[in-house]
Structure formats: structure tokens, C-alpha cells
Amino acid sequence: MNLPNKLTVCRLAMPLVVMPCLLKDFPYSKTLALAFFAIASVTDFLDGHIARKHGLVTDFGKLMDPLADKILVCSVLICFTAMYWKNGIVAPWMVVAIVGRDLVVTGLRMAGLSRGAVLGAHAIGKHKTAWQMIAIVTMLFYLVFSSDLNFGGPYMEYFRIATHVLFWLVSILTLFSGFYYLVKYKSFYLDNA
């Protein structure tokens, strides 16, 4: 197993570390969650960069790299939903929209592959991913400040509201992105209906 694939496997295991940090309260647990999420994000960049630069692109990497990303993001979002009743930021429907959209687009990609077509990432999908990562990191910082550092006062309430609005934006962008893929590639599922 080459180095990029080892990094991908490490990222696959990262939710096992991040999730307990988010769901349990112990000293600096949210700071550790943010640190591990940042490490996972760096490995995501590194494995692709190393694989392309040194000609180490493999079928395993092509399949598992995006899957590792989805598993990490989905696990963090599910943890945020578990915290919803405490902080009111990431509502369950938001996570269902984000995860559901990813499953639909993955299904369309598989349908495309069965026809010999490759569904590349479109600008709307890239924007969705970028804003999703911004929202997740913002939420992690909010948790660090409110839980580990015990910041309070009106500024933390503004931070909470801003984070909630950011997740609304991501949810709407996610739904729009999913609708775009469904319309653009409707032949993949209408022709076989």
C-alpha cells in the first residue's frame, strides 16, 4: 500500500477519534475534535497531491478517497445534530438534506458509470463543498469557544446565530446542487423507468 492510500486509510479511521471528542465532555474535547478534523483535512490534500505528483494514483485511492471524505463529514454532521437540542444550530433536516444529496449524486455517478459516462464535479458542487467545510469549521470553532474556553456573553450568541445562518445557507445550496444534478442527468434515471 502506497503512502497516499495509507493517508486515506488513516482518514477513514479519523471519525473514531473525532466523534467521541464531539459527543463527550472532557477537558479540551472540542479543541481535540477541531485538531483531528484539521489533520484529516490536511491528509485529504496531501494524499491527492502526492498521488498525482508521483504517479501513485490507484483504483483504491479513486474509490476510497472521496468515500473517506464523505464518512468524515457525515460523522461530524451527525454529531452536530446530536448537539442540536443543546445549541439549536444544526437541525436534523439540514443533515438529512446534506447526506441525502450526497447519496443521490453518488447514485447518479454510479448510473453514469454503468453507461460509460463520468459525472465530473460541477461548479455548484464545488461551491457546496467549500461552503460546507467553512460551516463545519465555523461550528467547530464555536464549540471550542463556548465549551472548552467557556466564552459567553452577547458575542457568543452572535457567533451561534451566524453559524446557524451559515448552515441554512449550506443546506439551501446543497438542495439546489442536488436538484441541479437531478435535472442535468435525468436521462440516467428516466430512460430506465
Task: State the cell numbers at 48.
Answer: 491527492
Residue type, 114: S
Give per-residue pLDDT as tens, 80-122.
999 998 889 999 999 999 999 989 988 888 888 788 877 777 8
Judged on CB neighbours under 10 Å (0-12, 13-18, 19+), 17 is: middle
Q: Which positions ≥6 away from 81 have C-beta within 8 Å?
A: 90, 91, 92, 94, 95
Residues 24 and 76 placed together within one structural domain of the fold: yes
The candidate with the shortest Cα–Cα distance to 128, out of 92, 146, 104, is 104
The candidate with the shortest Cα–Cα distance to 36, out of 136, 135, 103, is 136
Report pLDDT for 193. Answer: 54
Question: Distance between CA atoms of 171 and 192, rounded to whole angstroms?
Answer: 30
From first to last of the 193 residues of the chain, give the pLDDT tens digit: 899 899 999 999 999 999 999 999 999 999 999 999 999 999 888 888 898 899 988 888 887 888 888 899 999 999 999 999 888 999 999 999 999 998 998 888 888 878 887 777 788 888 898 899 999 999 999 999 999 999 988 999 999 999 999 999 999 999 999 999 999 888 877 765 5
Count of domains forming the chain: 2
Only one residue has cell 434515471, namely: 189
Report pLDDT for 176. Answer: 94
Q: Which domain holds residue 44?
A: 1-82
Residues 64 and 17 placed together within one structural domain of the fold: yes
Residues 164 and 110 placed together within one structural domain of the fold: yes
Task: State the cell numbers at 33.
Answer: 475534535
Residue 144 in contact with residue 34, Cβ under 8 Å? yes
Question: Distance between CA atoms of 23 and 84, rounded to whole angstroms?
Answer: 12
pTM, 2 dp? 0.89
Report pLDDT for 192. Answer: 58
Residue type, 112: G
Residues 108 and 187 placed together within one structural domain of the fold: yes
Element (H, E) at 150: none
The candidate with the shortest Cα–Cα distance to 171, out of 93, 108, 105, is 93
Residues 76 and 96 placed together within one structural domain of the fold: no
Question: Distance between CA atoms of 41 and 43, rounded to whole angstroms?
Answer: 5
Residues 108 and 186 placed together within one structural domain of the fold: yes
Residue 120 in contact with residue 109, Cβ under 8 Å? no
Report pLDDT for 48. Answer: 84
Residues 172 and 107 placed together within one structural domain of the fold: yes
